[in-house]
């Protein structure tokens, strides 16, 4: 017996089984080994599996993700991308209590739902120069860089400012903003800028997000449009 419903952003009715989990729920439980290969991958190569989460979701560079990603950020990104219910507290606490279980659940979710479609491409230009600061960006970049990065990401994609502040590596924040707007560049340059000119990088992404606002919506599977 099924019930008829309408998928978000689609006028076509979709028949959903009453036994099928809702789209805003995890497709597998935290301690449910939905795929043996994924579970083994998460337990024995956790950092590689964490890198695979973002790479398989949005096509970003796997080596960069290996260096920059962590399970807390990975869970928060995936939950927001697919519109899964939850809280920032859960995103922060669960990976600390059972890291491999969280990694396996999140990677399984990405593989179950499929990748996010590619964004606007990497051919846009920065609207803010690396040394082109206004007063607020200058203060944030010089004295409160992690706050500046957190506010930039919140503006970009409505991600949680506390997670961005406490758990987001600077190079990853810069990379997410650049790729979110489809700005030309590469991961190596993202790392170098934030390693040697981190204050400038923070000021730039803060101003860039203030100018552009939210990144364009990206598609997740047929008939569904969600933020990256």
pLDDT per 10-residue tile (average), the chain, 228 residues: 40 39 86 90 98 97 98 97 95 96 97 80 89 95 98 96 97 97 96 98 98 80 40
CB 86 within 8 A of CB 79: yes
- Ordered by start, the domain boundaries in the chain are 32-118, 135-213
State pLDDT tens for residues 147-170: 999 999 999 999 999 999 999 999
pLDDT of 123 reads 82
CA dihedral 61, 52, 214, 177 (to 10 degrees): -30
pLDDT of 225 reads 37
CB 222 within 8 A of CB 14: no
C-alpha–C-alpha distance, residues 129 and 148, integer Å: 16
| DSSP-assigned states of every residue in 42-60 | HHHSHHHHHHHHHHHHH--
pTM assigned to the model = 0.85
């Amino acid at each position: 017996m099924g019930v008829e419903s309408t998928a978000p952003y689609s006028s076509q009715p979709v028949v959903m089984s009453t036994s099928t989990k809702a789209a805003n729920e995890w497709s597998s439980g935290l301690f449910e080994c939905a795929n043996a290969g994924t579970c083994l991958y998460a337990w024995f190569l956790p950092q590689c599996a964490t890198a695979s989460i973002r790479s398989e979701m949005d096509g970003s560079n796997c080596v960069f993700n290996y260096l920059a990603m962590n399970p807390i950020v990975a869970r928060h990104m995936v939950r927001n991308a697919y519109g899964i219910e939850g809280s920032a507290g859960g995103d922060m606490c669960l990976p600390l209590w059972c890291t491999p279980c969280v990694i396996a659940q999140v990677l399984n979710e990405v593989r179950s739902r499929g990748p996010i479609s590619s964004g606007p491409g990497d051919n846009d230009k920065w609207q803010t120069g690396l040394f082109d600061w206004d007063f607020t960006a200058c203060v944030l970049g010089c004295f409160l860089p992690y706050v500046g990065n957190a506010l930039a990401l919140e503006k970009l994609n409505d991600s949680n400012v506390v997670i961005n502040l406490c758990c987001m590596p600077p190079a990853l924040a810069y990379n997410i903003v650049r790729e979110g707007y489809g700005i030309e560049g590469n991961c190596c340059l993202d790392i170098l800028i934030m390693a040697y000119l981190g204050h400038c990088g923070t000021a730039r992404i803060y101003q860039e997000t203030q100018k552009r606002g939210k990144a364009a919506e990206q598609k997740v599977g047929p008939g569904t449009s969600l933020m990256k």
